[in-house]
Chain A
Amino acid sequence: MLDLKNSGNHRRSPLSGKSAQPAQLTFRSTLAVSFLASVGNINVIKRVLAGPMSGLIVVFARAVTAVRAIWPESGPPQGQNIYFANHSSHGDFILVWAVLPPWMRVRTRPVAAAEYWLKSKLNRFIGCDVFNAVLIERDREKRTRDPIEEMSGALDAGSSLILFPEGTRNETEARLLPFKSGLYNLAKARPTIDLVPVWIDNLNRVMPKGEFLPIPLICTVSFGDALHVGPDETREAFTARAEAALLALSPKQEGTSQ
């Protein structure tokens, strides 16, 4: 005979024993229904996976690099900030992220290149769902949206940003590439927000360009005192000041260069 309460695939299974409580059964079927429904909705799965995934990535980054934050004498930065960092590896913002306290981490979004993070489904999942990156289009000719507007919008929504003002990964012997104008333009657009220099040290040795296996080496992330752009400060003057503030955080080169 057909049991109307437990219709379809939720019919009592012979394995569940003869005296399964109705309450338990209902609970199970609700779970099953929501599971089946969510399979149809990939976004729900993504959202469910994104949290543990970001936790896993941070644990992995810590296991490999034993990353340690070096705060300025004034203590760890508070509230909303624009962190600007040197860029030598795809893992850079993960390390900045990993050393931030969890309540700051959830409100901190990396600024990243759209063409890289939209390249494949996996990249998109990691970039958009896990890291909640602010994706900007680097190609001036082809872009449809203004990066400064994108970043300002994220700041207005209350997020902090991690920005790499060199614009691309530094694969040269120089410690820092000349900054692009983005940091200055953003600072001009939202002049009250603290600009915090962040030096990421050693990650380029952990995972040099073109390698997929990270080497465990100890990394540090040094935070400096916040800067602001002056009302009449020129782009050249501000950029020189910001570059100097960042370079001042880099440890002295001990024996690693000839």
Chain B
Amino acid sequence: MSAAASDLILLLIGVGGVLVFASTIGFILQRRLSPDGSNAVIENLNARINAWWVMVILIGLAFIAGRIGVVVLFAFCSFAALREFITLTNTRRADHWALAAAFFVVLPVQYYLIAIEWYGLYSIFIPVYAFLFMPILATLRGDTERFLIRIAEVQWALMICVFCASHVPALLSLDIAGYEGRNVLLIAFLIIVVQLSDVLQYVWGKLFGKTKIAPRLSPSKTVEGFVGGVASATLIGASLWWITPFTPLQAGLLAFVIAIMGFFGGLVMSAIKRDRGVKDWGYLIGGHGGLIDRLDSVVFSAPVFFHIVRFWWSAT
């Protein structure tokens, strides 16, 4: 067995162990406090843990399937996220062709470029070409009503849900000396750090949270949760250095950057939800809300993580 595969298996066993632990706690809490399913917090906690099982199994399967598996998984994530995002925008009938192009041309092309590792094009395809051609497509119907708002919303949706999200599988295309064949572990590192940072911010906030950090954007986020979550995610990142090409110190610094970006990503997406008067982006993931509710911190940290690693570690 290659070193990469054994590391991956070790990692999956570790994550599985954490989930078994979480499920056990959830089960005990339910027996003690909510035997008839009446305690909403406990029920939500268990729904979240169950959804984590599904997400971990899906990601694990994609990792085992290799590069194509990961690209296809994230293409579907982008599809579901874009669907949630566009549902909340102000599109009009005249946008039909532009929207069809977003879903059926821009999204598949972006992931195809990721699959063939054409960095020069996938890093500008949506920011430049979609940016120019989508409004052109929108003008063809001649509807000027709220035109700027409409095209801006669609471009923003594509940037967040497709462009940024596609930087997760793009990590596979980095060429790092001495790290060949192990890039999938970079994705694992990113996802574990950013998701644990979210979970730990929630846990620290529930335990010690007093001072609201952004009361108008996200009333449940607290300073204590933020500090505790980011600090513990940084430590966890540093302790995962063995799956990365980084030293423990570098791994900790990168984990810190990932956690910070994830936190602000959550704030931005939360501001959009408030603007639209919804609590969740959707209902895809039981207990969590929509896919974007889970993906918001990943999409903000992925491109930054990608570019830092590419600039300082990658040979290409």
Q: A residues near B, CB below 8 A?
A: 66, 68, 202, 205, 208, 211, 213, 215-218, 254-256, 258
B125: which A residues are within 8 A, CB to CB? none
Q: A213-B100, A217-B87 are in contact. List 18 more A-B contacts (CB 8 A).
A: A66-B80, A66-B83, A66-B282, A202-B87, A205-B91, A213-B96, A213-B104, A215-B96, A216-B79, A216-B83, A216-B86, A218-B83, A218-B84, A218-B282, A254-B276, A255-B90, A255-B277, A256-B90
**A-B complex: 6 closest residue pairs judged by Cβ atoms:** A218-B87, A216-B83, A215-B99, A208-B93, A217-B87, A254-B277
A66: which B residues are within 8 A, CB to CB? 80, 83, 282-284
B112: which A residues are within 8 A, CB to CB? none
A215: which B residues are within 8 A, CB to CB? 86, 96, 99-100, 103
Q: How far is the CB of A133 from chain B (nearest CB, A)?
A: 27
Nearest B residue to A207 via CB reads B96
23 contacts between A and B (CB under 8 A): A66-B80, A66-B282, A66-B284, A68-B283, A205-B91, A208-B93, A211-B96, A213-B96, A213-B104, A215-B96, A215-B99, A215-B103, A216-B79, A216-B82, A216-B83, A216-B86, A217-B86, A218-B83, A218-B84, A254-B277, A254-B278, A255-B277, A256-B90
A211 to B93, CA, bound (A): 10
B93: which A residues are within 8 A, CB to CB? 208
Q: How far is the CB of B184 from chain A (nearest CB, A)?
A: 28
A213: which B residues are within 8 A, CB to CB? 96, 100, 104
Which residues of B241-280 are within 8 A (CB) of A? 276-278
Q: How far is the CB of A2 from chain B (nearest CB, A)?
A: 56
Q: How far is the CB of B88 from chain A (nearest CB, A)?
A: 8
A216 to B96, CA, bound (A): 11
A68: which B residues are within 8 A, CB to CB? 283
Contacts A66-B83, A208-B93, A255-B90 given; indicate if A216 touches B103 (C-beta within 8 A).
yes
Q: How far is the CB of A174 from chain B (nearest CB, A)?
A: 15
Q: How far is the CB of B97 from chain A (nearest CB, A)?
A: 8
Q: How far is the CB of A208 from chain B (nearest CB, A)?
A: 5
Interface centre among B79, B83, B278, by most A CB within 10 Å?
Answer: B83
Chain A binding surface SS class: loop
Nearest A residue to B290 via CB reads A218
B146: which A residues are within 8 A, CB to CB? 258
A217: which B residues are within 8 A, CB to CB? 83, 86-87
Nearest A residue to B79 via CB reads A216
Q: How large is the interface on B (under 10, 10 to 19, 20 to 34, 35 or more residues)?
A: 20 to 34
Nearest A residue to B84 via CB reads A218
Q: How far is the CB of B111 from chain A (nearest CB, A)?
A: 16
A211: which B residues are within 8 A, CB to CB? 96
Q: Which among B87, B104, B276 is the interface contact of A255 at CB below 8 angstroms?
A: B276
B86: which A residues are within 8 A, CB to CB? 215-217
Q: How far is the CB of A79 from chain B (nearest CB, A)?
A: 26
Nearest B residue to A256 via CB reads B90
B96 touches A208 (CB 8 A): yes
Nearest B residue to A213 via CB reads B100
B103: which A residues are within 8 A, CB to CB? 215-216
A213 to B284, CA, bound (A): 23
Nearest A residue to B146 via CB reads A258
Nearest A residue to B145 via CB reads A258
A68 to B87, CA, bound (A): 14
Contact with A along B61-79 (1 / 0, CB 8 A): 0000000000000000001
B82: which A residues are within 8 A, CB to CB? 216
Q: How far is the CB of B277 from chain A (nearest CB, A)?
A: 5
A216 to B102, CA, bound (A): 10
A202: which B residues are within 8 A, CB to CB? 87
A205 to B79, CA, bound (A): 17
A254 to B273, CA, bound (A): 12
A255 to B83, CA, bound (A): 18
A216: which B residues are within 8 A, CB to CB? 79, 82-83, 86, 103
Q: How far is the CB of A253 from chain B (nearest CB, A)?
A: 11
A254: which B residues are within 8 A, CB to CB? 276-278
A256 to B149, CA, bound (A): 12
A217 to B89, CA, bound (A): 10
Q: How far is the CB of A65 from chain B (nearest CB, A)?
A: 9
A165 to B191, CA, bound (A): 50
B277: which A residues are within 8 A, CB to CB? 254-255
A258: which B residues are within 8 A, CB to CB? 146
Q: How far is the CB of A129 from chain B (nearest CB, A)?
A: 30
